[in-house]
Structures are given as structure tokens and as C-alpha cells.
Amino acid sequence: MSDTLHAREKGNGRETLVLLHGFGGHWMDWYDIQPDLARDARVLAYDLPGHARSLDHPAAGSASGMAKAILADLDQRGIARVHVAGFSMGGAVATLMALRAPDRVASLTLLAPGGFGPDISEDRLKNLASPGSTDGLRAAVNALGAPGFDMPTKNIAALAATRSLPGQEAKLVEIVGKIAKDGKQGEIPRDSLATLAMPVTVVWGTDDPVLPFSQSEGLPESFQLVVLPGIGHMLPEEARKSVIHAIRTTMRRAT
């Protein structure tokens, strides 16, 4: 196993932004978002442990372990403080980073984050982990969005390339078994969230079939909630401009 994490880096601004993808994804989930944000900041788009070029990292499967791994990688890069944006499972990892090291996280933008409620579509994640074919992968990805969502072919091709890596599908199946059991996931307590003093924005689509929109209820008063009517779970693709705006706005609130 390797304890090295892969991240694609763009930009050289004064602030550093970390982008964390969702389960079964990779850094290219931010392909159409990172360049825009890199106009204002240094932006690191990670492959999370157990995914793509970070496939063999030992922290795969535990959101808490992944949070520690990202913080350790930032130490190795000599980066003391960052803004963090996380999608789905990456949102849970981002939140745990902020809870573990609040002095190191300047702001949080959470896109349909994991861990904010008990319910999760385990069957959809299993289909995403081991789709069986490129057509099956497309069907599994499209099932994560709102009705009628169709993931662009370039994104499917990139995901299919990662699925062809030796051990990738087996690792994703293993991770599903750790993060989702009987349609339930681990929860981050609301009272823990309330301790976060940095600017936090939560973005959620009302038609999310993976993590129900109802999990956006009861957030701490200091959190800003952005509601996207008619949007499903795949926020980076379904609502790219809204995602970019939310990240930028949240970062500005911290300065």
C-alpha cells in the first residue's frame, strides 16, 4: 500500500482551496469547476483514499481516516490553512477535517454532504461501485441525478477508465460496506456541527435520490443553506454555476 495521495493542482492565488469528490468519483469530477476557481486561488482537487490514483492509500473506507489523510498531505505540502469544498462523501470528509482541525479550515462549502442524516441509497452506491459495463456505469451515474439527468460522455469515459484500474471495483464495494449498511449511514451530530465557527454553506438539491433533502433541516443557525429546486444529487454536473458561486461566496465570507 502507498500512503501517497494524488491531487491535481491549478492556480497560484493567495488562498488555497481543497476540492473533495464523492464516493466512486475522482479528481476529474471537478474538471469543469477547478479552472474557474483557480483564477482566484491555488486549488487542489484530490483523489480520495481508495479512489483512482489514491487507490492503495490505507485510509480508504473511513471518512474520519480520509480527513486525517488529507490533513497529513497538506502538512507534507507545507499548507497550513485551506478552504474546503466537499461533495457527498467528500462533504463528510470536509466536515470531519473542520471538526478535527478547526484552526486549519478557513471555510466549508458542503454539497449534499454525507453524514447529515441516517438515510442513504445503499443500492445506488452498490450499482455505482460495480456497474459491470460502461453502459451499466452510465445508468448507475444517471440514477444519482434528478429525473432526466444524463452525465456527459466525457465524464463517463473518465470514470470508466478509473474502474478499469486493478482492484478499483473491489475497493469501492468494500467502502460501500463500511459507509452504508441496511440503507443507513453514520451521522455527524448536530451539536458537533454547531461548534464550527468558520463560514459554512450547505448546498442541496430538492430531488436528491441518494441523500434526502430533508437532511438539510435543523442545521446550525450560522450555516447558510442554498436550496436548488428540482436538482438531484450530482451537483457538480447538474448545478455547476451554482456550485462555483457557492464556493466563491463562502470563501469571501472568510476574508
Give per-residue pLDDT as tens, 20-63: 999 999 999 999 999 999 999 999 999 999 999 999 999 998 89
All structural domains of the chain, each given as residue ranges with its CATH number in brackets, are 7-120+186-253 (3.40.50.1820)
CA torsion through residues 172, 178, 183, 186, sign = negative
- Nearest alpha-carbon partner for 225 in 210, 238, 206, 252: 206
The Cα 21–Cα 4 span in angstroms is 17
Q: Over the stretch 182-197, which tens digit does the pLDDT of each residue have?
A: 999 999 999 999 999 9
- The Cβ of residue 216 has, within 10 Å, a number of other Cβ atoms equal to 23
- The Cβ of residue 181 has, within 10 Å, a number of other Cβ atoms equal to 12
**Whether the Cβ atoms of residue 151 and residue 136 lie closer than 8 Å to each other:** no
Q: What is the per-residue pLDDT for 1?
A: 46
Average of per-residue pLDDT across 176-185: 93
Average of per-residue pLDDT across 5-16: 96
pTM of the model: 0.97
Q: What is the per-residue pLDDT for 61?
A: 83
**Mean pLDDT rounded to a whole number for the chain:** 96
